[in-house]
Structure 1
């Protein structure tokens, strides 16, 4: 999908960034700028929210917990089998 820069100020900014970064095209300059901005925004997300999203992904992949199974006992038994 194409991205057209119609604003002359933004176009000049992209050209200036292209020159300063020493990249071949304005597209490369815009790609780098957008990635840096995405990284910056991602860094602002609180760790609590990032961990909550990871827990949700784990729940979706692993499914609900198995009730009636003592996971500690099971893991202890599995580790003891190797000895």
Structure 2
């Protein structure tokens, strides 16, 4: 089982709960459109998140840019502290 499988399994639990609630709301006949049901957004968001994990990101360039920026910032901070510790040792 990969990390994605664990994430998908966790999201699936929450999706199932939201889906069952959505099904109850829809069956009640109180809503004209499925998207009018209060639990629609949650069910749709969980479904989309699961799909992204199955298929991969729809925007790989954006994801790469965001991850690279985060890594660069973190490595810069790590290097700063590493250099600070080295300079303390030389003093």
Q: TM-score range by the shorter chain?
A: 0.3 to 0.5
Greater relative contact order, per chain length (Cα 8 Å cut-off, separation 6+): 2
**What is the TM-score normalised by the length of structure 2?**
0.32
Q: Relative to total residues, which structure has the larger helix share, 1 or 2?
A: 2
